[in-house]
């Protein structure tokens, strides 16, 4: 099993999946996490400068939901394609926060998505292997606001 952990430097879990600097990738071998690589985040809309930078038609609507905000280059409904492709070999993703749509897109692509309060990468991986990693999908954030859903 391969796990991607959103992390800026590889030791702490990032607070937002799409805004992370990269992903620490681990394989579970004989029940233990083994570090494989660190993938810089060059594929999320946020990393490419698309998150919240655009407005809807005629400047109305929420950031990132304009006509250019849809499709693989924007931050609309289908914009998660590049990040889903980049993590296609991972069955599990872990972060301390992510947008509701990202969470759902990960789930729909067959991945287990965890939004956890654990902040250490190694601790989260150990807890995942033990089956005790907390998952709080209701804590998904609203894009551009940084606040938890209520």
Neighbours of 150 (CB within 10 A): 6
| Per-residue pLDDT at 45 | 62
Mean pLDDT of 19-35: 94
Residue 59's alpha-carbon distances to 72, 77, 132, in angstroms, are: 20, 18, 45
Is 145 a domain residue?
A: no
Choice among 7-16, 115-124, 132-141 with the minimum mean pLDDT: 132-141
Domain span at residue 83 reads: 2-128
Residue 19 belongs to a domain with what CATH number? 3.30.420.130
Cα–Cα distance measured from residue 125 to residue 150, given in angstroms and rounded to the nearest whole number: 27
pLDDT digits (tens, 9 = 90+) for 54-110: 333 333 333 333 333 333 333 444 478 899 999 999 999 999 999 899 999 999 999
Give SS3 for 127: helix
Is 118 a domain residue?
A: yes
Specify the pTM.
0.74
Please tell me the total count of domains within the chain.
Answer: 1
Is 141 a domain residue?
A: no
Is 148 a domain residue?
A: no
Is 84 a domain residue?
A: yes
Is 142 a domain residue?
A: no
């Amino acid at each position: 099993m391969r796990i991607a952990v959103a992390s800026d430097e590889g030791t702490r879990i990032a607070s937002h999946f799409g805004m992370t600097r990269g992903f620490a990738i681990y394989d579970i071998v004989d029940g233990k996490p083994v570090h494989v690589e660190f993938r810089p985040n060059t594929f999320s809309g946020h990393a490419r400068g698309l998150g919240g930078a655009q407005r809807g038609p005629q400047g109305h609507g929420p950031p990132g939901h304009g006509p250019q905000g849809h499709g693989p280059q924007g931050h609309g409904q289908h914009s998660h394609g590049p990040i889903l492709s980049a993590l296609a070999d991972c069955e599990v993703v872990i972060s301390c926060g992510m947008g509701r749509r990202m969470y759902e897109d990960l789930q729909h692509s067959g991945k287990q998505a965890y939004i956890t309060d654990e902040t250490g990468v190694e601790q989260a991986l150990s807890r995942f292997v033990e089956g005790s990693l907390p998952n709080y999908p209701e804590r998904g954030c609203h894009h551009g606001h940084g606040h938890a859903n209520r």
